[in-house]
Amino acid sequence: MCVGSSQYEKVCKGEFASVHTKLDRMDEAIRGNGKPGIQLRLDRLESTQASRSRLLWLVLGATVTLAVGALWKVVIGLS
């Protein structure tokens, strides 16, 4: 605990400066400060994942449609 002024100058001031520096570095990493930060990169990853998911469902739907169509031709062809 920082109670006295001399103790603040000896111990706490340096500790607070160290914590402040670390918080600044974390903020820069998250926001980017002119370059892509963690927040933007995460948003891009989520957007890419959503696109891949839509594409997967499209391919799966087309595959099922083709399989059902081929099965239908086999069943109708046997009659």
Average pLDDT over residues 37-42: 94
User: Band of the pLDDT at 5, cuts 50, 70, 90?
Assistant: confident
What radius of gyration do the chain's Cα atoms show? 30
Q: Which range of residues forms the domain containing residue 32?
A: 5-78
Give the count of domains, the chain: 1
Average pLDDT over residues 29-49: 93
pTM score, whole prediction: 0.62
| Alpha-carbon span 72 to 79, nearest angstrom | 11
What secondary structure does DSSP assign to 26-44, as a single string? HHHHHH-TTS--HHHHHHH
